[in-house]
Amino acid sequence: MEKENYLGVDVCKTDMEGVLDEIDEIVRERRPSFIVAINPEKIMKAIKDEKLKNLLNSAAIQIADGVGVVIASKLKGGKIKSRVTGIDLMQNICKRSAEKGYRVFLLGAKPGVAERAAEILRERYKGINIVGIRDGYFKDENELLGYIEDKNPDVMFVAMGSPAQELFITRNMDRLKIPVSMGVGGSYDVICGNIPRAPKWMCSMGLEWLFRLIKEPWRYKRMMVLPLFFVKVLFNKDKS
């Protein structure tokens, strides 16, 4: 996949359709891969943490989840025109899975949340084959891995927050051999309505961050990195 690079972190140029086509290809080839959502906050962390940077760059697909990444691309004359958000991609993968018969595993979030999300997904994407569900507060990782192996999924969503979910995926990729794994953060909570999603007009204006800030004001600390991110991108000599 064609990628741009911001402060050392890769981001795919591809739009939603392109990402979904690549996912079909990965499932067809059964090539264990993972998808990671990139936002300025993660990039700023990765600048200070080489291991995290390598982890993000080792993903097959890095989606431009944050509007800040799209703005960075504009600032540097890049080609990323719109966001591919984690929650939208997850739902599109579910739709594709229902159409193609992919086996889907939901891992993560508090007990009961993934089950409710599964019910909603089954309602929305008729025929989706959700083969297993486990919460993200397990004690025995080995037992969990055995359970997942048994279910033999094509796609696994992991909702445990970042970078815990990415670390779980990469740590166990060789053993699980799942074609597509994706860290989805709080997406099950969003699907269940535990965390409200911004109205469409705010999303289309790139203001989802403002909505989240109003709803979860403690996030302001995480957003303080944004101005510095843009300054760094602007003054970084590397071409995107």
φ and ψ at 19, to 5 degrees?
-65, -40
Token digits of residue 90: 């997850």
Instruction: Confirm or reject binding of residue 182 to ligand UDP (CB under 6 A).
Output: no
One residue of 14, 62, 97, 162 binding ligand UDP per CB under 6 A = 162
Number of residues that bind ligand UDP (CB under 6 A): 13
Instruction: Confirm or reject binding of residue 161 to ligand UDP (CB under 6 A).
Output: yes
Residue 113, Cα to own-chain centre: how many angstroms?
A: 18
Q: With 0-12 CB in 10 A as exposed, 13-18 as middle and 19+ as buried, what is 234?
A: exposed
Q: How far is the CB of 219 from ligand UDP (least distance, A)?
A: 8
Residue 63 or 98 with smaller CB distance to ligand UDP: 63
**What is the length of the chain?**
240
One residue of 72, 93, 148, 160 binding ligand UDP per CB under 6 A = 160
Token digits of residue 198: 């911004």
| CB within 8 Å of 40: residues ≥ 6 apart | 66, 68, 69, 72, 225, 226, 229, 230
Residue 78 or 153 with smaller CB distance to ligand UDP: 153
Q: Which residue has the tokens 């409200």?
A: 196
d(CA 69, CA 85): 11
Q: How far is the CB of 103 from ligand UDP (least distance, A)?
A: 21
Instruction: Confirm or reject binding of residue 136 to ligand UDP (CB under 6 A).
Output: yes
Q: How far is the CB of 95 from ligand UDP (least distance, A)?
A: 21
Instruction: Confirm or reject binding of residue 185 to ligand UDP (CB under 6 A).
Output: yes
The residues facing 10 across adjacent strands are 5
d(CA 211, CA 203): 9
Q: How far is the CB of 25 from ligand UDP (least distance, A)?
A: 26
One residue of 9, 109, 133, 156 binding ligand UDP per CB under 6 A = 109
* Residue numbers at the binding site for ligand UDP (CB under 6 A): 108-110, 136-137, 159-162, 185-186, 188-189
